[in-house]
Amino acid sequence: MRLFFLLFLWPAVIFAQTPAAMPTVSSALLVASPMRTYALRLKPGQDLRQQLNAFVELHQIRAGAIVTCVGSLTQATLRLANQENPTVYRGHFEIVSLVGTLSVNGSHLHLAVSDSTGRTVGGHLLDGNLVYTTAELVVGVLEELDFRREPDPTYGYRELTVYPAAPASKRKKIVKQ
């Protein structure tokens, strides 16, 4: 009986807080959607970012996210924090993290890789990340959302805005060949 309480009832007790005790989140930031997932594998020599962009275009993904990615690279090309130009690393690297949002309206992806000593570096994913042996990805698609990039007045960058997806009757039909 204690195990039942711990597994099933305790979470309800934890989350059954009064509204005053609950953290507030702007309703403009709180949007939900079911998620469909795709699993794909990239092969040696393929460019990680270019292949992701091609996948997004092929499937006309309006709101997606990287669920997971593991693999290896022979070249990593990143834009490091607060830098304008790319930094290129050559060698053999393990992909230790790939995160971000995907959309035909613009994606925002960060990659972290480690070398043979465990040294890890990360930044914005750019073209020029070449697969060594494999890149195994799971991509989630949020079908009821539409990610867009719009100027944010704080710094002037084009930042994520989240909208409900257009009704299915108004979306372009995808013809698969």
Residue range(s) defining the domain that contains residue 108: 32-164
Q: Is residue 27 part of a domain?
A: no
Q: Is residue 135 part of a domain?
A: yes
**Is the pLDDT higher at 154 or at 13?**
154
- The tens digit of pLDDT for each residue in 36-48 reads 999 999 999 999 9
Give how many domains the chain has, as a whole number. Answer: 1
Q: Is residue 4 part of a domain?
A: no
**Residue 82: CA count within 13 A, CB half-sphere:** 0
Q: Is residue 112 part of a domain?
A: yes
CATH number, domain of 44, equals: 3.30.1330.80
Q: Is residue 11 part of a domain?
A: no
pLDDT at 177 over 60: no
Q: Which of 2-11, 71-80, 134-143, 146-155 has the lowest mean pLDDT?
A: 2-11
**Residue 96: CA count within 13 A, CB half-sphere:** 13
Most confident of the following: 7-11, 17-21, 141-145, 171-175? 141-145
Supply the pTM of this predicted model. Answer: 0.79
Q: Is residue 18 part of a domain?
A: no
Q: Is residue 15 part of a domain?
A: no
> Taking the alpha carbons of 39, 45, 50, 55 in that order, is the dihedral positive or negative?
negative
pLDDT at 151 over 50: yes
- Per residue in 66-102, is it b (16+ CB within 10 Å) or e — as a string? beebebbbbbbbbeeeeeeeeeebeeebbbeebbebb
